[in-house]
Amino acid sequence: MKKRTWGALGASVVPVCGLTLMAMPAFAQEAERSSASTALEEVVVTAQKREERLQDVPVSVSVIDTEQLARQNITSVAEITRAVPALNGGGVTGGIAIRGVSTNGFARSSEGAVSVVLDGVATGRTQIANIFDIERVEVLSGPQGMLFGKNASAGVINIVTKAPDPSDFAVIAHIDYGNYDYEREQLTVNAPLGSSAAVRVGLHHDTQSGVTKNVLRDSETQPRHYGGRMRLLWDATDALTFNLIGDWDKTEGTGDPTGVFAIAGTPALASRIEACGIVASLKNTKNCAEGVNSVISDTLRYGGSLQVDYTLPGDYVLTSITAKRWVEAGDFDYTGLGGDTDLLPGDLLSTNLAPTDIDTFSQELRLTSPLGQFIEFVGGLYYYEQTSKDLVVQGGTLGLLPFRIGNATYIDVEQQSYAAFGQATINVTDQFALIVGGRYDDEKLTDRTSQRPRADYGFVAAFPPGSVFTAIDEEVKSDNFSWKLGAQYNWSPDLMTYFTATRGYKGPAINDQGTTANIIEAEIPMSYELGLKSTILNGAAIATVALFHNKIEDFQTAVFVPGSATNPVPGFGQGNAPYIKVKGVEANLIGRPTDSLTLNGGFIYNDAEYSPDFLVACNPEQVRGVGTCSALGTTKPVDQLANVPELRVLLGGEFATQLTDNITAFAQADFVYESDIDLSPTPNPITRIDDRYLLGGRIGIRSPDDKWGVSIFGRNLLDKQYPTMFADPLSQFNGGGGRSYWTFPSIDWYRTYGVTIDARF
């Protein structure tokens, strides 16, 4: 696998580098002729909690500006992966990974490894799903907890929305229509409120017919999202600014499951599926679920924040950010069927409900020094609290009983955290600087898990011990000091190298799965990074390269628990792997080499591995005690971390030319390559996805001043299907004999296309 992927690296990168080198003289000549018009606008980021040039920041940062978001039709956090090499879908929870590191497990008290920050506020479990009216997205690779908190041990997705403008009244409209009944409408109004204040209000609505059909109910998944945001900006004085933000987002659907049978495993299960008019295959998009209710699809996310900035004498800035966020999903009072987890008309497990209520509060107070002095620093205090209430209701007959069995588990988690942090850059000379930082966290976590009356849900008896949540009443108190050391050398205003060593932190958790030890140890990453940033082609492009090595001790993940005398049913819970290790190289390029051409691209090579002492479940085809499968049913994991490609390559760009004084024509394309991945830590050829090639594009016309535009877009233009295979959790009960598998069709399986209309008044 390693040898083959190195070949793919060469095959993918060498031609690109060759073309770039051949083109650079021409680009350079063009840049010299028209450097004033082709030079990139200054790329400004807030990766260190202050506005700085991307060129000057000693952190690996990928930046997607508002134009690139529009070009690639990126409308959700998950879709940012199409623009950032180091970002990919990862983990058993289907979350986002940075450099292969993500959240792996289902414990409600477990923190995210990738922090999604919205306008300076860490969203935690309340993170947003849809993004619109965005100024830029910054993706920071590697541990970033020094400034962004303890749930940023893998990195940060920093989303900056567009601020109100007191100098301009504007109405901005955006409409997408496409196949599969795809619709997306956005409307934004920016209104001045005098010379020193303005309000900006944005609304969005998205809907699409699902690609998964429930033949039993003659229905299909139909996700619908709508929401809005309001920002109020007031420059009260030259030194005092208030920024008030509120947002909400609602998700609705039919409640139909998105999973389908891809492999039946046995003739018995194949016959049951065929009786519904379905043939299990990799191209199947149909299920036959009976336990369906739309209540499970309803999710409301909302929140608000107030940021106050006060400039002190000497240009020091004191900042306060106060934020409150909520999530309300499902219905705690609903007791019927829903969340069908067997995909069959029989009641094996036709109830799988998981309503949740989450609310968070955070307060940050920080002091930022001005740039250009001997010691530049950012330091402050941070407080965070989160309360989550979850109800997990699972039940059915398992296909064996004449009555329903099941459990209803109430999980109440409270988190409280205090922190003090600081980071300083010591400018030893005009060219050489030292970096030093530290963060102290003190936190408390409680988890109280209890059983609700089964009779309320029609359950006659409970599931067998070891297969359900168990009663927990745990409290964990912990503290930690994390640090960062580094050096930075500016060879010129356009060339900088840096080295950093960072000890990160991801707090402990409490296992609510009931199959392993209750306490999950804190996760400690130790990361080293050597980077280079260069502004090239007379300012027409910025290239960044970073070598990284990150060893994460006590990696929090799902673990397999073999059967024993005290726990006869083998299963999975949340625990710690001894460590994981990720190491490789990441590169990014953004540029405008000519008046007409805009480019972006990059790649990551990531050698990601488990500790050799970490054992996983054998695959269903293996026999205990035979070959690599131990008598306990465990084996060594796959060579590369599950869900992590060794190689990702991204290329994109737009060519635009002015046809008349009022019309500009443009064409855009973006390409993503991913090497093969294993979806599970267990070695199993069925759960491996081959190399992926995804091509998207857009052609259209617009006015030179961007007052209007019309374009045609397409995604997955190669019409490539890449099924994601997962073991059927009920295979031992539905006749699959442990050999049946599901897949989850998505719109990305298909070639999609549509039309976009933009207008600004």
* pLDDT above 60: residue 418: yes
Helices (H) and strands (E) in the chain, counts: 5, 44
Cα–Cα distance, 158 to 129 (Å, whole number) = 14
Q: How far is CA 642 from CA 375, 578, 617, 684, in A?
A: 43, 16, 14, 11
| Region of poorest pLDDT, from 23-27, 62-66, 678-682 | 23-27
Q: How far is CA 238 from CA 95, 165, 318, 370, 423, in A?
A: 42, 16, 14, 16, 27
Sign, CA torsion 608/140/535/431: negative
* pLDDT above 80: residue 465: no
Cα–Cα distance, 166 to 758 (Å, whole number) = 23
- The pLDDT assigned to 514 comes to 61
Cα–Cα distance, 38 to 31 (Å, whole number) = 7
Q: Does domain 2-760 have CATH number 3.30.1370.60?
A: no
- The pLDDT assigned to 4 comes to 44
Q: Residue range 479-505: average pLDDT?
A: 97
Cα–Cα distance, 450 to 455 (Å, whole number) = 15
- Please provide residue 11's backbone torsions phi and psi, each rounded to the nearest 5 degrees: -65, -35
- The pLDDT assigned to 568 comes to 61
- The pLDDT assigned to 642 comes to 93
CB atoms within 10 A of CB 358: 20
Cα–Cα distance, 300 to 293 (Å, whole number) = 17
* pLDDT above 50: residue 330: yes
* pLDDT above 90: residue 36: no
Q: Residue range 642-658: average pLDDT?
A: 96
Q: Residue range 621-633: average pLDDT?
A: 91
Percent of the chain whose predicted confidence (pLDDT) is above 70: 92
Report which of 562, 485, 471 is spatially closest to residue 513, judged by C-alpha positions: 471
Percent of the chain whose predicted confidence (pLDDT) is above 90: 72
Report which of 587, 632, 595, 746 is spatially closest to residue 34, judged by C-alpha positions: 595
Position with higher pLDDT, 37 vs 242:
242
Q: How confident is the model at residue 14 (pLDDT cuts 50, 70, 90)?
A: very low
Q: Residue range 737-747: average pLDDT?
A: 89
Task: Tell the burial category of 10 from Cβ atoms under 10 Å away from its Cβ (0-12, 13-18, 19+).
Answer: exposed
- The pLDDT assigned to 565 comes to 62
* pLDDT above 90: residue 420: yes
Each residue of 554-570: pLDDT tens digit? 999 988 888 666 666 67
Cα–Cα distance, 323 to 638 (Å, whole number) = 42
- The pLDDT assigned to 558 comes to 86
Each residue of 337-351: pLDDT tens digit? 899 999 999 899 999
Residues 6+ apart with CB under 8 A from 597: 653, 654, 655
Q: Residue range 73-100: average pLDDT?
A: 84
Residue reference for tokens 């090639």: 693
Which of 95-99, 110-114, 667-671 is the most confident on average? 667-671
Average pLDDT, the chain: 90
Q: Residue range 23-48: average pLDDT?
A: 59
Q: How confident is the model at residue 130 (pLDDT cuts 50, 70, 90)?
A: confident
* 443 in Cβ contact with 418 (< 8 Å): yes
Q: How many residues does the chain have?
A: 761
Cα–Cα distance, 133 to 138 (Å, whole number) = 15
Residues 6+ apart with CB under 8 A from 29: none
Residues 6+ apart with CB under 8 A from 274: none
578: left (phi over 0), alpha (psi -120 to 50) or beta: alpha
* 699 in Cβ contact with 657 (< 8 Å): no
Tokens at 652, concatenated: 């994109």
Report strand pairing: 597-610 vs 472-492.
Answer: unpaired
Residue type, 373: Q
Q: Residue range 167-173: average pLDDT?
A: 97
Tokens at 271, concatenated: 């016959």
Residue type, 167: S
Q: How confident is the model at residue 33 (pLDDT cuts 50, 70, 90)?
A: very low
Q: How confident is the model at residue 16 (pLDDT cuts 50, 70, 90)?
A: very low
Q: How far is CA 139 from CA 7, 91, 318, in A?
A: 28, 18, 25
Q: Supply the pTM of this predicted model.
A: 0.92
- Please provide residue 120's backbone torsions phi and psi, each rounded to the nearest 5 degrees: 85, 0
Each residue of 359-407: pLDDT tens digit? 999 999 999 999 999 999 999 999 999 999 999 999 999 888 999 999 9
Locate the domains of the chain by residue range.
2-760
- The pLDDT assigned to 295 comes to 84
542 forms beta bridges with 535, 590
Report which of 187, 186, 190 is spatially closest to residue 169, judged by C-alpha positions: 190
